[in-house]
Amino acid sequence: MAGDKIVLSGMRATGKIHLGNYFGAVKNWVDLQDRYDCYYFIADWHALTTDYSNTSDIVDNALEMLADWLASGLDVEKSVVFLQSMVPEHAELHLLLSMITPLGWLERVPTYKEQIRELNNRDLSTYGFLGYPVLQTADIVLYRADLVPVGEDQASHLELSREITRRFNSQYGHVFPEPQAFFTPTPRVPGLDGRKMSKSYDNTIDLADSPDEIRRKCKTMFTDPTRLRRTDAGHPDACNLYDFHRLVSPQEVQDQVARQCRLAQIGCVDDKKLLADRLIEFLEPIRRRREELIQDKGQLLEILRAGSERARSRATETMRQVRSAMALDYSRGWGSV
């Protein structure tokens, strides 16, 4: 809680987080806490845009996610950590922004077109799914946020948020700062199969994984595809295992593994064992903390309530300004209209 810039980011309520979420987002969020006023939230309504037909896990997913965030170092004394649906002003602002957002802007968003093409097993022909980035814009400008730390995959959403913000400000008067995407350098985190680590590919290592699970998963990892025999020289720079060493192993271990791999002094099986040990060591303190936190879901819910109340006080002030700018402020009484 320092500085005067407002940082805001969120994550869809998809449950336990994996190393890709950690190194791609949460670790950066933790680092930003001491430099900015930070708002971090769980987007439970956004989870409905693709999965409205199965809502039974959303609450539990939100709590699992919160446990991972806190175990990773998000600190509710420093940051405002909250749940989207506990601040209903997100919905009000979403509605107002939807009025000024041209359909063409939404239909052109690349992630929209891509997901319509690729997620064949879901019904995406809804108003809500098309409006995903409008809700995301409301999430951001509701806190008059300046900086939005996100991955590159969110670039087009952020661009759209800026366009909607400009349109609002020019139509009704300046209320919102134009939010900027804050791309922090994020390392490549491949999944077990070498594709991007993602829940939908079923190739993740989760913060909650036990040592046995980590060992089992490491055994299935894809390695340098050109190294066919144990006696062939390996190419650490073309190997998933090495990407992981860069994330979790001390420099000496990285150097040693690279040297021995190039000289065929260690094989992929040995390296997987080595990596599993490093991953286990790295994740152990996080896993222990999250295990303790998840024991008391009532307390996790209380943490979200308290954070959402803090978020709401800023959101309420924004909505007062919005209503006034849009000449929809009925609180003044008839006499003064």
Q: Which residues make up the interface to ligand TRP (CB under 6 A)?
A: 8-12, 43, 46, 136, 139-140, 148, 150, 154, 157
Least distance to ligand TRP, CB of residue 151, Å: 7
- Rank residues 17 and 293 by Cβ distance to ligand TRP and give the closer one: 17
Selection from 217, 189, 198 nearest residue 118 by Cα? 198
332 vs 329: CA distance, rounded Å: 7
**DSSP states of 246-263:** HHHS-HHHHHHHHHHHHT
Taking the complex as a whole, how short is the minimal distance between the CB of residue 56 and ligand TRP, in angstroms? 21
The dihedral over CA atoms of 317, 321, 326, 329, expressed in degrees to the nearest 10, equals 70
Question: Closer CB to ligand TRP, residue 154 or residue 204?
Answer: 154
Q: What angle do CA 238, 199, 295 make, to 5 degrees?
A: 120
In Å, the largest CA–CA distance within the chain is 89
Pick 89 or 139: Cβ nearer ligand TRP: 139
Q: Which is nearer to ligand TRP, 9 or 28 (CB)?
A: 9
8 A C-beta contact, residue 207 and residue 290: yes
Work out how close the CB of 136 gets to ligand TRP at its nearest, in angstroms, rounded to a whole number. 4
In the complex, minimum distance from the CB of residue 244 to ligand TRP, in angstroms, rounded to a whole number:
22
**Residue (48 or 280) nearer to ligand TRP, CB:** 48
211-219 vs 268-295: helix crossing angle, rounded to 10 = 150
- The nearer residue to ligand TRP, 111 or 169, going by C-beta atoms, is 111
Q: Taking each helix axis as running N to C, give the angle between helix 44-51 and helix 58-71, from 0 to 180 degrees, rounded to the nearest 10.
A: 130
Residue nearest to ligand TRP (CB): 10
Shortest separation between residue 140's beta carbon and ligand TRP, angstroms: 5
Rounded CA separation 275/105 (Å): 45
Q: Taking the complex as a whole, how short is the minimal distance between the CB of residue 158 and ligand TRP, in angstroms?
A: 8
